[in-house]
């Protein structure tokens, strides 16, 4: 993916009051600490990526931001007030992984309902066009593919003039062309001065879209800066392996921390900025990589470490 010039830079907007503020926020589910003493701020005009593998705390952080969960300790403020009050005022639009869509309605009807409920709504046809839904506007929601459902969720999140747009893994299930169109719309939202916060495990996507990347690990911020700064700290590593069967790029693109992916027959070549997390997720997909090699970045003389880990069958 080609890196796109940023419309905004974080430093340019940090003199304004923050749009989102987390102060020493923690949240546990039983014995699992999902968010741990989290401090972060998001400012007007910023496009910020929350980056991390599954289980890093991204979705829990967004749930707290949207008032869907209550922190065990600490304070969450959105536009200087509670998340619930900010949402009621039409300041926040959200696209989440959790929660289903109404099924026995047409796409247009569902989008129209979202527009009717928004205090600062856009015209229905404009929302459909921006989400690339015009051609399927009269299709029943329960007849949509996964990628089309994602575009409907995006339409619902952007049905009105929100000052903050929150997106949880927004391009999951979308093909390449749909992703490009999606982010084209989000860049337009950013140019209009809106703050955008999206969770992803694609460093490549964060690099192309965000002007600031916050890396989460076990509910804590471990890095906060531009994508270039994050990559410089992490250092890319090469992962090469063979598979018993050709599976294409679809499932492999769900692996965390990818910066590039190449599939040639049954041989897969990956550049990753967290090789351990990527390899762990690879086994989590139920794949058995043969001849697995993890090497340092493309600098001369980098050592190669050969993994012989076997998966129980």
Q: Tell whether 216 and 166 lie within a shared domain.
A: yes
According to the model, what pLDDT value does residue 255 have? 85
**pLDDT tens, residue by residue, 250-277:** 778 878 888 788 888 889 998 887 787 8
- In 3D, which of 177, 134, 145, 18 has the Cα closest to residue 86? 18
- In 3D, which of 18, 22, 15 has the Cα closest to residue 219? 22
The count of other CB atoms within 10 Å of the CB of residue 54 is 14
Looking at the structure of the chain, the number of domains it has is 2
Block residue for tokens 């190449």: 262
Q: Tell whether 54 and 182 lie within a shared domain.
A: yes
Give the DSSP H/E element, type plus range, for residue 48: strand 47-51
According to the model, what pLDDT value does residue 223 have? 85
**pLDDT tens, residue by residue, 138-172:** 999 999 988 888 889 989 998 998 999 999 988 87
Q: Tell whether 218 and 297 lie within a shared domain.
A: no
Q: Tell whether 166 and 265 lie within a shared domain.
A: no
68-74 long-range contacts (CB < 8 A, ≥24 apart) are 69/27, 71/25, 71/26, 71/27, 71/35, 72/26, 72/27, 72/28, 73/24, 73/25, 73/26, 74/22, 74/23, 74/24, 74/25, 74/26, 74/37, 74/38
Q: Which residue numbers in the chain have pLDDT < 50?
A: 1-12, 297-313
Instruction: Give the β-pairing of 290-295 and 304-306.
Output: antiparallel
According to the model, what pLDDT value does residue 110 have? 95
Residue 76 domain-assigned (yes or no): yes
Cα 9–chain centre separation:
19
Q: Tell whether 70 and 216 lie within a shared domain.
A: yes
d(CA 139, CA 136): 5
Domain containing 297 — which CATH number?
3.30.70
| Cβ proximity of 181 and 147 under 8 Å | no
């Amino acid at each position: 993916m080609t890196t796109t010039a940023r419309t905004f830079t974080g430093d340019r907007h940090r003199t304004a009051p923050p749009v989102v503020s987390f102060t020493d926020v923690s949240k546990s589910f039983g014995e699992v600490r999902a968010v741990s003493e989290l401090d972060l701020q998001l400012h007007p005009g910023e496009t910020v990526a929350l980056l991390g593998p599954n289980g890093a705390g991204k979705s829990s952080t967004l749930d707290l931001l949207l008032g869907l969960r209550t922190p065990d300790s600490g304070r969450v403020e959105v536009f200087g007030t509670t998340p619930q009050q900010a949402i009621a005022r039409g300041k926040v639009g959200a696209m989440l992984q959790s929660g289903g869509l109404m099924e026995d309605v047409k796409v247009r009807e569902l989008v129209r309902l979202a527009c009717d409920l928004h205090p600062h709504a856009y015209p229905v046809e404009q929302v459909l066009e921006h989400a690339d839904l015009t051609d399927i506007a009269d299709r029943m929601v329960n007849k949509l593919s996964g990628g089309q459902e994602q575009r409907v969720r995006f339409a619902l999140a952007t049905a009105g003039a929100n000052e903050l747009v929150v997106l949880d893994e927004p391009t999951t299930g979308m093909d390449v062309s749909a992703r490009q169109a999606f982010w084209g719309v989000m860049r337009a939202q950013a140019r209009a001065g809106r703050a955008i916060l999206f969770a992803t495990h694609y460093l490549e996507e964060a690099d192309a879209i965000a002007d600031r990347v916050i890396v989460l690990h076990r509910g804590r911020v471990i890095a906060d800066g531009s994508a270039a700064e994050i990559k410089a700290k992490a250092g890319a590593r090469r992962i090469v392996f063979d598979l018993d069967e050709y599976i294409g790029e679809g499932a492999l693109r769900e692996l965390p921390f990818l910066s590039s992916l190449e599939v040639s027959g049954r041989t897969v070549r990956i550049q990753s900025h967290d090789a351990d997390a990527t390899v762990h997720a690879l086994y989590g997909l139920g794949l058995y990589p043969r001849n697995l090699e993890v090497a340092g970045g493309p600098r001369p003389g980098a050592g190669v470490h050969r993994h012989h880990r076997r998966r129980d069958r």
